[in-house]
Amino acid sequence: MVAKKVEQARALGCAHTILSREENFMEWVRQLTNDRGANIVYDSVGSDTCLAARVRRGHLVAAQALMGREKSASRAS
Task: Give residues with Cβ within 8 angstroms of 46, minimum separation 6.
Answer: 62, 64
Three-state secondary structure of the chain: CHHHHHHHHHHCCCCCCCCCCCCCHHHHHHHHCCCCCEEEEEECCCCHHHHHCEEEEEEEEECCCCCCCCCCCCCCC
Domain residue extents for the chain: 16-62
Per the rule left: phi > 0, alpha: psi between -120 and 50, beta: everything else, 35 is left
Write down the pTM of the prediction: 0.56
| Rounded mean pLDDT, 12-22 | 83
User: Mean of the per-residue pLDDT values for the chain?
Assistant: 79
How sure is the predictor about 69, in pLDDT bands with cuts at 50, 70 and 90? low
